[in-house]
Amino acid sequence: MIPSNTICVSEEGPANALALNKDATQVVIAGRNVFKVFSIEENDFTEVCNLRVGKNLNLNFSSIDVAWSTIEENTLATAATNGAVVVWNLGRSGRSKQEHVFSDHKRTVNKVSFHLTEPALLISGSQDGMMKCFDLRMKEVARTFISNTESIRDVQFSPHQAHTFAAVSENGNVQLWDVRRHERCLQQFTAHSGPVFACDWHSEMPWLATASRDKTIKVWDIHAKPNLEHTIYTIASVGHVKWRPQKKYQVASCALVLDCAVHVWDVRRPHVPLATFAEHRDVTTAIAWQNDPNTFLSTSRDCSLYRHRFSEAAHPVLWANPHGVCVSARGDVTHAAPDCPLPALHTNPASDRYVPGLGRKQPTAGSLRPQAQAALERLFPGGAASILTRYSGEGRPPCCVVACAKEYKMRGLPTHELAEHNAKVARAYNRHMVGHVWEVVRCVYGRPPPREPPEREPPPPPPAHTNSNAVEEEPLEEVEQWAETQFHNSGVLGMPTLSIYIPPHKYKIRHDEGSGWVSAASAHYVDVETADWTLPEEAFPLRAPPPAHQPSILDTTHGRTAAGGASPGGSSSPGSGSSGSNGSACTAPPNLEQTSSAYPGAATLCRAQPEEGESGPLWVVHEALRPHVEPAPLLALALRHHADLGDVQTAALVMIVLHEHRSDLFPYIDEGLQEHWLLGYIEFLQKHKLWNVATEVVRCAWLSSVWSLSQQSSSVTVCCGRCGRRARPRAMCDRCLPHPDLCAVCRQVVRGLYAWCQGCSHGGHLEHMRQWMEKHQLCPAGCGHHCQLG
Amino acid sequence: MITVLNTIDTGHEDMIHDAELDYYGLKLATCSSDNSVKIYDIKNGTQTLAADLKGHFGPVWQVAWAHPKYGNLLASCSYDRKVIIWKESGEWTKLYEYTGHESSVNSVAWAPAEYGLILACCSSDGSISIIQYSQDTGNWDVKKITGAHAIGVNSISWCPALSADLNLDPLTNKDAPKRLVTGGCDNLIKIWREQGDQWVEENRLELHIDWVRDVAWAPSLGLQRSMIASCSQDKRVVIWSSDDNVSWTPTILNTFDDVVWSVSWSLTGNILAVSGGDNKVSLWRESTDGQWLCISEVAKGLGQTPNDERSTL
C-alpha cells in the first residue's frame, strides 16, 4: 500500500544513513554494503553514482554515518565501523571518489557532521568517547575533544552560534562545546536516564531535541541554562530525531527497535503522533527532510529508500476512539468525549484495500484532504482535552427497583398477602404497572376474606378425573394444588361481564406525574381499586363456582394475547357446572396457542392507546360470558413481557411468591427461562450489593441449579485489625506481631483478657474498658466511634 | 430523564479513550492517550481519584473490569502492543503483562465470570488472543485466532453466559459454547465459538460499509433473545438479534450525522447508549413493536430530553 506520491527504491543492503546535498536534489545512502548517490526526480530515484567500487572494498566502505557538505557540492564524509572517517570527492575523475581517510579514532565512528559555514571543518563522534575536528584542507585533526564519557552517539553544529556544537553520549549526557576550545565543554547536563542516540537543533528556536533509549524525545531550551521544554513519549527507543522545517513545534522521529514507522510529533501533544508514515517493513535507520516541510526521505533496514509526502500521512489520532460511553449497573451513564472534536476523517476507500504482501503493521485510515490536514495540524495540540461527564441516566428506575427489592417480601405469608404487600411497595415507588401485576396476582391466587362471606360451603375438591371424559390427563399433585386454589377463590364468582375503565382524570394524573412510568404497555393499566370484582348476584345463578375460574386478567401482553383469555374449562362447564361437579373443568392448563385457536375472539380487549388521546378510557369488553378465565397463560405472558422490558425483578419475584401456584405457569415458561430470570435477578441484586436479598432469592428458588448456589463454598478471610492485611487464620499478622496490643485507656501492654469494640477494633484491659464505658460513650482511643462492649 | 450529575476533571493530559464502570458501578476507570489509567471511587455522585496507573508506553485504548469474585482486576490495552492486568491489593500493581501482539491492542473484554478468569483482546495485527488464568498452575494460557479481520480488529465483546445457548436447556448445559463477537477494519462483524480447544468462526455479519468501531453483546438479564449492537465509521448503529445465537437479523437503529464510536448496553440489556462524533450521547430503547426510539439525547455537558417520551417501567 504505497501511496501514489511516495517513491521507493530497493537497495542491495540496508543503509545506515542518508544525507542530502545542499539543494536537496540528490541523496546519498550509506551502509555496510551499500554506498550510492541518487538524484531525486519527480516520481523516482535515479542512481547517479555507486561509490562502493574499487578492488579493495575494506572496512572503510562499511559506513555507520554519512554527511554531505552544506557548502561544497562534491564533498561527502562517512563514518566507518573501523574508526575511519573517510572524505569523498564526487568531482574526482575515475571510479574511486575516495579523497582522504582519517584513521584517528580507535573505535567505531558513530557520526560525522560538517560545519555549517566553514567548508573545511568536519567533526566526528566516536565510540571511544572522543570527538575530533578535522581540517579538510590540511588533512589533519585540528582538535580533539575528550568527552569523558564512554561513547559519543551524535554531534551537531548549532545553526545559531557558528562555533557551538552539541554532542550526546551513551551515559545520557548532552555536552555543548565551542569548536575552538578543546579543553573543556561549555555546558554539560544529563538529559536522559538512558543512552542518548541522536540530537537535532531547531532552525529558529534555541532548542535542541534529544532522542533516547528511555523512549522519550526531549526538547531543551539552551538559550541560557538548559531547560526542559517538552517531553514526547514514544513506544520504543528513539533512534533519530529531525525537526520539521518551517514548523515550529513539529519534530520527526524513528525508533531503533520495534516500531518501523516514522512519526511526526507536535511537541505540545507529547503522547500521540500528529502523522505517521508506516511504509517501511523494518526499523527506519535515518530520516532527512527535503528542505521543505512536505517531503522527507527515509531509509530502513528493509533495504529501501522512500520519499514520503506529508499529504500521504496517516493520522493515528483519527484512528483512535475519542469517545467512551458506559452504562453502569446503577443506570448511570459515563461519557468521555473530546473537548473540541477533530475534523472528520475522510476515508478514501481505494486506499483502504489491504495488500497482503506488504504486511503493513498499522492501519492506514486513508489520507486527509489538504484543508482537513491543515485543520488537523491547527487543532491537533488543543484537541488533547477530553471531558468526562457522568449522567444519572435512566437513574430513577434502578433506584425504585432497588428500593422495591429491599422491601418486597417473598415468603412467610400466603401468596395473596405477599402480593398485596408487594403491590403496595410497588405503588409506593410509583411503579403502577408492577403494582398492577401484583394486584392481579393477589386477586387471582387467593383473596383476603371477601366482603360478604359466602354462605355456600366450599365446593368439593375435584374428583380425580373419574368422570373426565373430555380432556387431558393431569398429574395428581397438580390436582391438589388446584384444589387449594379453588379454596382461596371460593368467595368469588366467575368472570365479570362488566367493563373496567379508568376514569380519565385518573389516567391523566398518572401522565402528569413525572414519576409515573407510563409506557406503551401501561395502556393495560387498570385501576384495581375502582374495579368491582364482585358481581351482582343476579348476573349468575347461584351455584358452586367452577374450580378453575379466576377474576379477570387484564394485564395482557400488548395485544399479542388479546384473545387468550378463555379457558376450555369455561366452555365445557355449562353442563357440568350446575351439577356442582367440575372435574372436567379442572384440567391441565392448555397452552396458549391451543386456547386462542380454539376460542378465537372469546374475549376482546379494546384498548385505548395513550397516544390516541389521554381522555380515551381503557375498556375491556368481554363479549361472551365466560365463567372461566385461565389466568396462568396470561400471567406467564405478563411476566415475559416484563422481562422483555428489562424488569426481570417482577418476573422472578412473582414466580417466587406464587409458591404452590407456581406450577400453573410451568407449561408456559420453560425451566430454562425460569432459571434465566432467577439468575438474572440474583445478578442484579449482587450488582447492587443486596447480598441478603440475593441469598433470600436463592433460598426461595425451586430450581436445583439456582438453589445449589447456596451450597457453593464460601471463603472467609481474616484480616489484621491493625493494618488491614490478610492474616493467617488464628495467627497474628506477621507485620504487626512485634507491636503488642496496648490498652487504649492506660497505654500499657495488655496481658490476659483483651476487651475490644467490634466496631472500631480499639480495646484494652477488660476492667479499664468497663470503667471507661461507664463514664463515656466514645472510644477511648479517640477514634470517635460509639463503642459498645459486648 | 437524563441529567448531568457532574463533570469530572480527570487531569489526563490527553484524550480519554474509554471510561468504564465496574460491576457495582462504584469504581470508574479511565484511560487516555497520555499513557495512563486512572481509577476513581464513586460515592454519592462524587468521585475521588484512587489510583493513577502508569505502565503503558503508548495511548491506552480501553479498560475492562473483571468480575469482583476474582478481586479488583482491571485490564488495559494500549498502542504499545501490550495488555496489562492490574490488581488491587491495598495498592494497584501489575499482575500480568501480555505482549503477544505485533501491533496496537485495541480492545479488551473479560469473559463472563462463570467461565473462569478469561480475557479476550484484539489487535491491529488482525488477531485475537484469549488469555485464560489457570488456577492450578497460576499461569496465563494463551490461545490465538490469527487473521481474524484483515487490517485489524477494533472491538471485542463476550456473549453472556446466561444466554449461552437459548435452544439448550441451561440446566443441563453448563458446558455451553463460549462465544465472542468482534468488529474489524474489514467492515465485518464476526462471531466466534469455542469448539474443543479451538476457536472457530461461526458467523460473519455483513452490513456495515466502513470500519466497525465497536460491538457490544447485550447482557441478557431476563431477555429471551440475544442482541448485539454494532457501530461503525459508516455512521450507522445496527442491532443484530437472534433467538438461537446462530441466525442473526439486523435492524438499523439509526443513521447518525457522524462516525459512531462507542455503544454500551444497560444492565438489563434494553437500553443502549450511543456516542458519536457529533459529541452527543443518546439513549435508545426498543419499543414493544420492535422500533428503536431515542429516549434521551445530550450534547456534551447539557442535559435535555428530545421529547416528552418517558417510556420506562
Q: Which of A301-310, A470-479, B11-20, B231-240 has the lowest mean pLDDT?
A: A470-479
Confirm or reject contact between B234 and chain A (CB < 8 A). Answer: no
Confirm or reject contact between A282 and chain B (CB < 8 A). Answer: no
pLDDT tier for residue A318 given thresholds of 50, 70 and 90: confident
Which residues of chain B fall below pLDDT 70? 1-2, 162-176, 221-223, 299-313
Q: Rg for chain A (alpha carbons), in Å?
A: 44
| pLDDT of A356 | 33
Confirm or reject contact between A366 and chain B (CB < 8 A). Answer: no
Please give the Cα distance from A603 to A623 (Å, whole number).
Answer: 6
Residue B182, all three cell numbers: 468482534
In Å, how far from its chain's centre is CA A686?
21
pLDDT tier for residue A724 given thresholds of 50, 70 and 90: low
For B300, which DSSP code? Answer: T
Quick check: A208 pLDDT over 90?
yes
Express each pLDDT in A558-594 by its tens digit.
444 333 333 343 333 343 333 344 333 334 444 434 4
Measured CA angle at A426 (ends A422, A429), to 5 deg: 145
Residue B167, all three cell numbers: 435452544
Give B244→chain A minimum CA distance, Å. Answer: 13
In Å, how far from its chain's centre is CA B230?
11
Express each pLDDT in B132-182 by its tens digit.
998 888 889 999 999 999 888 999 999 887 654 544 444 445 566 889 999
Chain B CA closest to residue A349: B210
Please give the Cα distance from A521 to B294 (Å, whole number).
Answer: 17
Express each pLDDT in A391-439 by its tens digit.
875 544 567 788 888 888 888 888 888 888 999 988 888 888 888 888 8
Give B140→chain A minimum CA distance, Å. Answer: 24
Residue B123's nearest CA partner among B140, B96, B139, B142 is B142
Please give the Cα distance from A122 to A228 (Å, whole number).
Answer: 29
| pLDDT of A213 | 93
More confident site: A650 or A395:
A650
Run of H or E residues at A441: helix A432-444
- Measure CB to CB from residue B266 to each of A215, A331, A672 and give the nearest one: A331
| pLDDT of A711 | 73
Residue A318: strand, helix, or coil: helix
Residues 6+ apart with CB under 8 A from B262: A321, A323, A324, A325, B213, B214, B231, B274, B275
| pLDDT of A596 | 39
Is B1 exposed, middle or buried (CB count within 10 Å of its CB: 0-12, 13-18, 19+)? Answer: buried
Chain B CA closest to residue A235: B57
| pLDDT of A750 | 81
Please, which residues bridge with residue A211 across strands?
A: A198, A217
Contact B104 A642 (CB under 8 A): no
Region A297-311 average pLDDT = 89
Winning range, highest mean pLDDT, from A382-386, A601-605, B158-162: B158-162
Winning range, highest mean pLDDT, from A369-378, A537-546, B121-130: B121-130
CA atoms within 13 A on the CB side of A333: 36
> Which residues in chain A have their CB less than 8 angstroms from residue B90's CB?
724-725
Q: Phi, psi (5° rounding) for residue A272?
A: -120, 130
pLDDT tier for residue A731 given thresholds of 50, 70 and 90: low
| pLDDT of B180 | 92
Quick check: A554 pLDDT over 60?
no
Interface list for B 15-74 with A (CB within 8 A):
15-21, 23-25, 28, 30, 32-35, 42, 45, 47, 57-59, 61-62
Q: What is the DSSP string of A637-699?
A: HHHHHHHHTT-HHHHHHHHHHTGGGHHHHTTTS-HHHHHHHHHHHHHHHHHTT-HHHHHHHHH
Quick check: A516 pLDDT over 70?
no
| pLDDT of A651 | 87
> Which residues in chain B have their CB less than 8 angstroms from residue A338's CB?
15, 279
> Which residues in chain B have their CB less than 8 angstroms from residue A337's CB?
275, 279, 281, 300
Residue A668, all three cell numbers: 408456559
Contact A384 B258 (CB under 8 A): no
Express each pLDDT in A223-241 by its tens digit.
888 999 999 988 889 999 9
Are residues A1 and A10 in contact, defined by beta-carbon separation less than 8 angstroms?
no
Residues 6+ apart with CB under 8 A from A223: A206
Let me know how long chain B is: 313
CA atoms within 13 A on the CB side of A629: 33
| pLDDT of A510 | 42
Interface test with B, best of A388, A525, A674 (most B CBs within 10 A): A388
- Strands lying side by side in the sheet with A275-277: A238-243, A250-255, A262-266, A275-277
Is A134 exposed, middle or buried (CB count within 10 Å of its CB: 0-12, 13-18, 19+)? Answer: buried
Q: What is the DSSP string of A41-100?
A: -SS-EEEEEE---SS---GGG-EEEEEE-SS-TTEEEEEETTS-EEEEETT-SSS--EEE
| pLDDT of B26 | 87
Contact B283 A394 (CB under 8 A): yes
Region A267-287 average pLDDT = 88
pLDDT tier for residue A729 given thresholds of 50, 70 and 90: low
Confirm or reject contact between A382 and chain B (CB < 8 A). Answer: no
Please give the Cα distance from B137 to A44 (Å, whole number).
Answer: 58
- Strands lying side by side in the sheet with A333-338: A324-327, A333-338, A386-392, B3-8
- Measure CB to CB from residue A336 to each of B16, B213, B296 and give the nearest one: B16
Largest CA distance in chain B: 57
Percentage of chain A exceeding pLDDT 70 = 68
CA distances from B106 to A6, A334, B183, B213 (A): 28, 20, 11, 10
pTM greater than 0.80:
no
Region A642-652 average pLDDT = 82
| pLDDT of A539 | 45
- Strands lying side by side in the sheet with A85-89: A63-68, A75-80, A85-89, A98-102
Total Cβ atoms within 10 A of residue A374? 12
Contact A334 B19 (CB under 8 A): yes
